[in-house]
């Protein structure tokens, strides 16, 4: 798609300076842009690249705009957000025509809106309700009594098991599994007895769930994901977990059962969260943190940053002797 600088500025609600009639067809980084591109500056560390940037227009803050010598400027207090809005304009998602592919397997007892689109080899079980504008990619499975809200997009090879409820305008990426059994077993003298998982997965509106992420059904009650939540790839959400509105999680986070994650939290990659605890609204967890108790609002870290191998080995040896050293220091203090 092509848009002029003026059209882009108008659609994203920002002002511009320079030639508004220049046509833009793509986004690009500051270093790779050409005269058909729009780029952006959100990190002042890249300010020097602006002078040599060949983009037709750059999205910048007011205080940085003097660095642009030849490009037009779209002035924004949040260039990264304006870039995201611009990219959506230039690269609109492909929406297939409504209808059901002949190879799809559809139970007779379903409610599929005529404005929905179901691709090849989709399976829809009895009791499913699929709303207007829903897109379901090839090979996806929609289980019994699943509900899919308006304009939700299910990419190819997604599995929605019995009773899953999805709100409006969600995006579920390939390989995701929603509604699998939670990890529930009772021990009987060393052997394990399965506990039926009878809850559901309830997902709000405007949620995005990444590729190969799994969200387990509740053991008794429901697993719940709030409006606007963003989950990256390869995340495990255990049974009866709740995730508050607009919380974002990077890849490989693991959440054990019955954890309660607040709203507006930012959780970095490879964080582990134990079960039956609460994390307050607005909390940030940095990469590889391990959460073993409930947290008040704040910024938390526990993973060790990478070190040169020789230094790490020396520290590891000393760490093994930490308790011994503590006892020696304590003894010296007691005798002083």
For 198-251, give the DSSP string. Answer: ---EEE-SS-EE-TT-EEEPPSSS-EEE-TT-EE-SS-EE-TT-EE-TT-EE-T
Q: How far apart are CA 51 and CA 247, in angstroms?
A: 37
Which residue is it, tokens 């607040």? Answer: 262
Reduced to 3 states, what is the DSSP secondary structure of residue 331?
helix
Which 3 state secondary structure label does DSSP give 84?
Answer: helix
Q: Show the tokens assigned to 103.
A: 């190879």
Give me the sign of the Cα torsion angle 98, 99, 103, 106: positive
Q: Which of 101, 239, 246, 276 is catalytic?
A: 239
Token digits of residue 283: 């909390």
Encoded tokens for 265: 């939290």
> Does residue 234 have an active-site annotation?
no
User: Which backbone phi and psi does 104 adopt, to 5 degrees?
Assistant: -65, 145
252 SS3 class: coil
Q: Cβ(98)–Cβ(58) under 8 Å?
A: no
Residues 6+ apart with CB under 8 A from 46: 30
What the block records as the tokens of 45 is 């560390």
* Cα 333 to Cα 336: distance, rounded to the nearest angstrom: 5
- Distance, CA of 191 to CA of 47 (rounded, Å): 62
Pull the structure tokens for residue 314: 């020396």
Could you tell me which of 309, 276, 271 has the C-alpha nearest to residue 294?
A: 276
Enumerate the active-site residues: 239
């Amino acid at each position: 798609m092509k848009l002029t600088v003026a059209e882009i500025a108008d659609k994203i609600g920002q002002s511009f300076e320079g030639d508004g009639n220049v046509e833009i067809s793509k986004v690009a980084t500051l270093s790779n842009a050409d005269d058909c591109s729009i780029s952006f500056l959100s990190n002042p560390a890249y300010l020097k690249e602006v002078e040599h940037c060949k983009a037709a227009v750059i999205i910048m803050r007011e205080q940085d705009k003097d660095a642009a010598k030849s490009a037009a400027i779209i002035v924004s207090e949040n260039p990264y957000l304006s870039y995201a809005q611009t990219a959506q304009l230039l690269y609109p998602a492909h929406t297939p025509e409504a209808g059901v592919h002949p190879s799809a397997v559809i139970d007779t007892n379903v409610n599929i809106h005529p404005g929905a689109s179901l691709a090849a080899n989709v399976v829809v079980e009895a009791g499913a309700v699929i709303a207007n504008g829903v897109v379901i990619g090839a090979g996806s499975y929609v289980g019994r009594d699943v509900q899919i809200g308006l304009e939700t997009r299910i990419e190819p090879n997604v599995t929605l098991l019995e009773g899953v409820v999805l709100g409006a305008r969600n995006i579920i990426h390939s390989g995701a599994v929603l509604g699998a059994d939670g990890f529930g077993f009772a021990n009987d003298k060393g052997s394990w007895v399965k506990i039926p998982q009878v809850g559901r997965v309830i997902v709000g509106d405007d949620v995005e769930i990444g590729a190969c992420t799994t969200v387990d059904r509740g053991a008794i009650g429901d697993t719940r994901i709030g409006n606007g939540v963003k989950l990256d790839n390869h995340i495990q959400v255990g049974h009866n977990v709740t995730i508050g509105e607009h919380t974002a999680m990077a890849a490989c986070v693991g959440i054990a059962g019955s954890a309660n994650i607040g709203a507006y939290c930012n959780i970095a990659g490879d964080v582990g969260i134990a079960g039956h605890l609460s994390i307050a609204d607005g909390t940030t967890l940095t990469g590889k943190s391990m959460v073993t108790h409930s947290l008040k609002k704040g910024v938390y870290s526990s993973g060790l940053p990478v070190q040169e191998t020789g230094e790490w080995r020396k520290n590891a040896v000393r760490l093994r002797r930490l308790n011994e050293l503590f006892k020696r220091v304590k003894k010296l203090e007691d005798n002083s």
